[in-house]
Amino acid sequence: MQIIGIIPARYASSRFPGKPLIEIQGKSMIQRVYEQACNAQSLDDVMVATDDERISEHVLSFGGKVMLTASNHLTGTDRIIEVANQLSATAFINIQGDEPFIQPEQIDKLADYFKNRSDLQAEIATLIRPCNEIELINSANSIKVSIKKNGEAMYFSRSVIPFNRNGADFKYWKHIGMYGYTKAALQQISTFEAGFFEQIESLEQLRWLENGLAIQTIETDLETISIDVPEDLLRIK
């Protein structure tokens, strides 16, 4: 089985234009993500997928691999689908391009699922971690997930789910936004129109659930730091 890590990257972020090229302690953010991904033991290759020539030229300048994509993709998964259609790999790992200190162990944990999965198991997987930090539980920027007994996701939300009406001792789960997909799953996703719940919550994975695809959750105890706005740079210092 061949598994390729793909890092979607775009220049025209509404909240932080040029974000992939910002410098963090002597290296660009996209270079840091790329190098961390290359440290994963389970990937056969790592590639940046971008619609911007500036990002493409920069990736090539530090010896990375890159593929130019269309500029009209609405999500990182859409960008990965275009790349996956041109490659022969069996599975793909969507590595967030705005997490400069992503842990290779997280990538390996997700990739190992696809190396060991049976034909009856979900063709999409993602990471979650236990969360008891009240600030994160209540934050709309922190995505929560409810899971089934078999570990598959029931629903993702920016709201607190479930609502703990009776104050029971309960473990909340925070979604870590890294996905893995089989090539077959990506081909199915490419046929789906934007879903109702996806538009309400602005979470693309709800489109997959709404159309009947299963998403296996995999527990990790590692957190990642996402750079969404310029102020986030202060946190990583």
Amino acid letter at 66? Answer: V
Q: Residue 49 and residue 67: Cα distance in Å, rounded?
A: 5
Q: Residue 103 and residue 219: Cα distance in Å, rounded?
A: 14
Residues above pLDDT 70, as percent of the chain: 95
Q: Residue 219 and residue 151: Cα distance in Å, rounded?
A: 9
Model confidence pTM above 0.85: yes
How do residues 93-120 score in pLDDT, each as one tens digit?
A: 999 988 888 999 999 999 999 999 999 9
**pLDDT band at 212; cut points 50, 70, 90:** very high
**pLDDT band at 165; cut points 50, 70, 90:** confident
Q: Provide the β-strand partners of residue 140.
A: none
Mean pLDDT, residues 123-139 taken together: 93
Domain with 79 in it: 3-236
Q: Residue 221 and residue 127: Cα distance in Å, rounded?
A: 10
* Helix (H) / strand (E) containing 177: strand 172-182
CATH code at position 77: 3.90.550.10
Q: Tell me how many domains the chain contains.
A: 1
**pLDDT band at 236; cut points 50, 70, 90:** low
In degrees and rounded to multiples of 5, residue 105 shows phi and psi of -65, -35
Mean pLDDT, residues 86-92 taken together: 95
Hey, what are 83's tokens? 């790349």
3-state percent breakdown (helix, strand, coil) of the chain, nearest 5: 30, 25, 45
